[in-house]
Amino acid sequence: MDFNRAPDEEERLKALRRERFSNTEGEQRFKRMVDERAKRRQKLAEQGSIDNQSSLTEARKIIGTCTLMCPVFEREERELKKSLALQEVHPGTRQADPAKTVKTFHRSAAGNEEPLPEDLRTPDTLIYTLDYLVNSVIAQDQTLQSCHG
């Protein structure tokens, strides 16, 4: 116990820690999503829609089906891991705002699973996302405007 803190402050911090590390509804939902993704990945591999190959010459073209700026699975994962940017959450909360959440860049690396079609955005969605970033996010960033305007 920190003797420099008031007892109320100590209890508040304990409550925050409990909330942060508790098995929440969001965690349970995310675990279900992980299980569902594994089943979906297996089914798509059996259908030949995605590869189990590691050779580029044998790789299949994957067509993205995501029409959101950030796929649902990634949004849930980032909300659970508290890795959303301030601009991506509903004001005053830690909950993702689907209208503002944008897929993060992930460098491809050996050992990473191949993305599912629902993880890849459609061309129209990519254009919409770029338009949103340029005309809404960057245009409203006063710091960026003062440095580069």
Q: pLDDT tens digit string along 80-128?
A: 999 999 989 999 998 999 999 999 988 777 667 788 999 999 999 999 9
Residue 56 has pLDDT above 90, yes or no: no
pLDDT higher for 106 or 142? Answer: 106
Residue appearing with tokens 């190959």:
53
Q: Is 132 exposed, middle or buried (0-12, 13-18, 19+ CB in 10 A)?
A: middle
Residue 2 has pLDDT above 60, yes or no: no
- So where are the chain's domains? 7-148
Q: Binning pLDDT at 50, 70 and 90, where does residue 34 land?
A: very high
Report the candidate in 76, 59, 58 with the shortest Cα–Cα distance to residue 114.
Answer: 59
Please tell me the pTM assigned to this model: 0.71
Residue 75 has pLDDT above 60, yes or no: yes
